[in-house]
Amino acid sequence: MYKIVLVSELKILLSREQIARRVAEMGQQISSDFAGQSIIFVGVLKGAAIFLSDLARQIPLDATFDFIGVSSYGNRPTPAEDPAGHAAWDSSGEVKLTKDVDQSMTGRNVILVEDILDTGLTLSYIQKLLMAHQPKTLRIAALLDKPSRRKIPIHAHYIGFPIPDAYVVGYGLDYAERYRNLPDICVIQNP
């Protein structure tokens, strides 16, 4: 047993049961869209790791995994440094690649797997980068979507849950690297 610090200040937004049901539905959709074909799942580190591992196990097709890492340049504050909690949690607009994919995506069916689509800066950067590989198809699967925060017009083909503008943690999502291991998705009450 272990104790999670500050857990009393977290309110469940999406329970593990809700998440599991929706991830299974997304898996069925992807399985039927790509029936008889192979897939490369490309997870965005680190937040998408848990979603990718659950989603991929709902898809009984020939598949491989890859991971890509990005971070933002410059003055993007971490939530912990940001006294407003979420309000100032905006990207500087410049995204930097910290880990490239390991395999060629050329001619392949690529599903880019991300925890949350927020301003859209991260995914549009990665989308451009992967399009340069000339994949056969490139689709985005995002577990969460905050459409009200969008700065760049980008949409995910597969979305788990649209959510309001709140800072969420759990199921891979972090607050200053913590809480990724929470099984439920929670809103931080008093950041």
Catalytic residues: 118
Q: Which is nearer to ligand IMP, 91 or 109 (CB)?
A: 91
Q: Does 172 bind ligand IMP (CB under 6 A)?
A: no
**Are the C-beta atoms of 29 and 141 separated by less than 8 Å?**
no
Helix orientation angle between 49-56 and 16-33, rounded to the nearest 10 degrees: 60
Q: Which is nearer to ligand IMP, 34 or 140 (CB)?
A: 140
- Block residue for tokens 């309110």: 11
Q: Which range of residues in 8-16, 54-62, 103-111, 167-175 is near ligand IMP by CB under 6 A?
A: 167-175
Query: Binding residue for ligand IMP (CB under 6 A) from 14, 40, 51, 91?
Result: 91
Q: Does 116 bind ligand IMP (CB under 6 A)?
A: yes
How many Å apart are CA 96 and CA 78, to the nearest integer?
16
Phi/psi of residue 117, nearest 5 degrees: -105, 115
Task: Report the Cα 110 to chain-centroid distance in Å.
Answer: 15
The residue ranges that bind Mg ion (CB under 5 A) are: 47
Residues that bind ligand IMP (CB under 6 A): 44, 47, 91, 114-123, 167-169, 173
